[in-house]
Structure 1
Amino acid sequence: MLEMRFDTCTSTVHRVFVMTSQADQHAHVVGLGLIGGSVALALKDQGWSVTGVDRDQSVESLALSRAMIVSTVAHRETTLLFVCTPAGQVIEIAKQLLNDFDSEKVVVTDVAGVKGSIASQISDGRFIGGHPMAGSEMRGLEGADAALFTGCTWVLTPSSTTSPDSYARLHGVLRDIGAVVMALDAADHDRMVAMASHVPHLVAGALMNEANDMAQADGALLQLAAGGFRDMTRISAGDPTIWPDILFENSDAVLAGLSRLQERITELTTLVHAKDRVALLKTLGSAADARRRLPGSAALTTKLTEVRIPVPDRPGVLAEITTLASELQINIFDIEIGHSVEGSPGVLLLSVESTQAPKLMGALRGRGFAAGMKSL
Structure 2
Amino acid sequence: MNGNVFIIGMGLIGGSLALCIKKAHPDAKVSGFDVRKRQAELAKMFGAIDEISETIREGASDADLIIISAPVRETARILMELSTCAIKETVIITDTGSTKKEISRLAAPLKQKGFSFIGGHPMAGSHKSGITAAKEILFENAFYILTPEDSREKESAADLKEWLRGTNARFLELSPEDHDYLAGAISHFPHIIAASIVHQTKSLSGSNDLLPRLAAGGFRDITRIASSSPEMWRDILLHNKDVLIELLDLWGKEMERVRRLLGTSNEEELTAYFSEAKQFRDGLPVKEKGAIPAFYDLYVDIPDYPGVISEITGYLAKEEISITNIRIIETREEIYGVLAISFQTAMDREKAEKCIQACTSYPTSYE
TM-score range, shorter chain: 0.5 to 0.7
Distance 1:223 1:71 in 2: 51
Map residues 1-376 of structure 1 onto 2, 5 A cutoff.
Answer: 24-46=2-24, 47=26, 48-73=28-53, 74=59, 77-94=62-79, 96-97=81-82, 99-104=85-90, 106-121=91-106, 122=108, 123=111, 124-160=114-150, 162-212=152-202, 214=204, 217-219=208-210, 221-222=212-213, 225-227=216-218, 229-295=219-285
Distance 1:270 1:174 in 2: 50
178-187 vs 41-50, which deviates more?
Answer: 41-50
Report Cα offsets for 1:192-243 as digits up to 9, x if no partner. 221111111111122234445555643464565445x444322222222222
Deviation for aligned residue 1:182: 0.8
180-189 vs 288-297, which deviates more?
Answer: 288-297
Distance 1:252 1:238 in 2: 22
Contact 1:139 1:238 (8 Å CA) reproduced: no
40-49 vs 143-152, which deviates more?
Answer: 40-49
Identical pairs, percent: 29
Aligned residues: 275
SS of residue in 2 equivalent to 1:264: helix
SS of residue in 1 equivalent to 2:30: strand
Deviation for aligned residue 1:92: 4.3
Deviation for aligned residue 1:263: 1.8
1:90 aligned partner, one-letter code? T
Deviation for aligned residue 1:146: 2.7
Deviation for aligned residue 1:156: 0.7
208-217 vs 261-270, which deviates more?
Answer: 208-217
Distance 2:46 2:246 in 1: 43
Distance 1:154 1:240 in 2: 24
Contact 1:154 1:182 (8 Å CA) reproduced: yes
2:150 aligned partner, one-letter code? S
Residue ranges of structure 2 left out of the alignment (5+ in a row) = 54-58, 290-367
Residue 341 of structure 1 corresponds to which residue in structure 2? none
Instruction: Say which structure is richer in helix.
Output: 2
Residue 20 of structure 1 corresponds to which residue in structure 2? none
What is the root-mean-square deviation in Å for CA atoms of aligned residues?
2.8
SS of residue in 2 equivalent to 1:187: helix
Contact 2:20 2:164 (8 Å CA) reproduced: no
Contact 2:64 2:88 (8 Å CA) reproduced: no
Deviation for aligned residue 1:166: 1.5
Deviation for aligned residue 1:262: 2.1
2:104 aligned partner, one-letter code? A
SS of residue in 1 equivalent to 2:223: helix
Deviation for aligned residue 1:81: 1.4
Contact 1:39 1:146 (8 Å CA) reproduced: yes
240-249 vs 206-215, which deviates more?
Answer: 206-215
148-157 vs 47-56, which deviates more?
Answer: 47-56
SS of residue in 1 equivalent to 2:31: strand
SS of residue in 1 equivalent to 2:51: coil
In the superposition, the TM-score normalised over structure 2's length comes to 0.66
SS of residue in 2 equivalent to 1:162: helix
Distance 1:177 1:151 in 2: 8
